[in-house]
Copies of this chain bind each other. A is one copy, B any other.
Amino acid sequence: MRIVDVREETMPISSPIRNAFIDFSKMTLSVVAVVTDVVRDGRPVVGYGFNSNGRYAQGAIIRERIIPRVLEADPESLLDPERDNIDPGRVWDAMMTNEKPGGHGERSVAVGTVDMAVWDAVAKIEQKPLFRLLAERFGGGDAANPKVFVYAAGGYYHPGKGVQGLTDEMRSYFDRGYSVVKAKIGGVPLADDLHRIEAVLDMLEPHQRLAVDANGRFDQATALEYAHALSAYDLFWYEEPVDPLDFEAQAAVAAVYDKSIATGENLFSMQDARNLIRYGGLRRETDWLQFDCALSYGLVEYLRTLDMLEENGWSRSRCIPHGGHQMSLSIAAGLGLGGNESYPDLFQPFGGFPDGVEVRDGFITMPEYPGIGFEGKADLFAVMRAIGEPSLATCS
């Protein structure tokens, strides 16, 4: 049993949107296929992965550093000694050979993307959904729960979109079964943002909530100004008020804003996540953690982050990852996270759910596809299969 090839292709996921920090018109991502010599149902097992939006494709690091290390490793050294399968932890160690500590960005995306494909392959080799495999291996006795909370992330700024455009957008998310929606803040002056927020709050039914996201744009004074203003509302959360590494400013916001804060999508290692927990002033019963394994060295590292959280008294249920991908859905269903982000109208075909999966009262139910479940999403799987199984893709 061995990994016979790892392939990467860079693709655009451009969207005519912007948050408070960047616009997405030139955004790209990497799609990865990990091809094994294992045969299931008459076909070689191929695992797939991609990185979530916001941090660009990582083809060069994957091709120049990651792939050679995996393919040059003794195949035996990458196997799970207790199971007839590939060991994601050992593949991870191979990927990180000759990498210095610290500097967790870009490389973390490259490794996270390949790691996703490795886990997809491992679950397919066991012929079960990844979320069930994760519950068995790391669930601590808790069974998988295929019902996962999801919220609709949107509310971006773009040219010509007024308050009416924002409320129309949010209404369409509620119409599709979401109970929590999210809108960007910080791209316009505070008074204008409050006008946008109030317009959405005015349309909510009792079971519906709004979260807001500043994307790390504010300095401490502005973050506090927003905190005071937002305290007047019943928001689901106030996300990433300050620079993701300014834990002192983060703690200052938490000290004055007694409702929920969410952050962590721009921390890309267990060590960075640990610093947020140590220094960020977040509260175990109130706040939310959004670390995204696809950008952060994958699930192998995310398991270390979950262990760190447990050591610090945090429940896994406080984690609602960034990124809107099926990998985090699988982790949420398998390991009891609090839910997952979702971008109903963006980043297609990568984001979203398998075909036929609908949001009901803010939850989806995981279908039982082997692996992560990409095969259940036809538009996404067409893209993936062209990379991992091109002969099949051209015949289909």
What's the minimum C-beta distance from A309 to chain B, rounded to whole angstroms? 16
Q: Which residue of B lies closest to A63 (CB)?
A: B60
A42 sits at the interface (CB 8 A): no
Q: Which residues of B contact A97 (CB under 8 A)?
A: 22
A107 sits at the interface (CB 8 A): yes
List residues 47-101 of chain A with CB under 8 A from any CB of chain B: 54-57, 59-61, 64-65, 97-101
Given contacts A21-B101, A102-B245, A278-B279, 11 further A-B contacts (CB under 8 A): A56-B61, A101-B215, A102-B105, A102-B266, A103-B104, A103-B266, A103-B268, A104-B104, A106-B106, A245-B274, A247-B278
What's the minimum C-beta distance from A294 to chain B, rounded to whole angstroms? 13
A108 sits at the interface (CB 8 A): yes
Instruction: Give the CA-CA distance A247 to B247 in the complex, in Å.
Output: 13
A11-48 toward B: CB 8 Å interface, digit per residue (1/0)? Answer: 00000000001110011100000000000000000000
CB < 8 Å neighbour of A102 from B60, B102, B243: B243
Q: Which residues of B contact A55 (CB under 8 A)?
A: 100, 103
Instruction: Give the CA-CA distance A216 to B279 in the complex, in Å.
Output: 21
A341 sits at the interface (CB 8 A): no
Could you say which of A21, A28, A60 has the most chain B C-beta atoms within 10 Å of its C-beta? A60
Instruction: Give the CA-CA distance A101 to B56 in the complex, in Å.
Output: 13
Known contacts A59-B60, A65-B56, A275-B275: A244-B101 contact under CB 8 Å: yes
Instruction: Give the CA-CA distance A217 to B245 in the complex, in Å.
Output: 23
A365 sits at the interface (CB 8 A): no
Taking a contact as CB atoms under 8 Å apart, the answer to whether B215 and A100 are in contact is yes
List residues 251-283 of chain A with CB under 8 A from any CB of chain B: 266-269, 271-272, 274-275, 278-279
A248 sits at the interface (CB 8 A): yes
Q: Which residue of B lies closest to A21 (CB)?
A: B100
What's the minimum C-beta distance from A65 to chain B, rounded to whole angstroms? 7
Q: Which residue of B lies closest to A57 (CB)?
A: B64
Instruction: Give the CA-CA distance A59 to B61 in the complex, in Å.
Output: 10
Instruction: Give the CA-CA distance A357 to B23 in the complex, in Å.
Output: 48
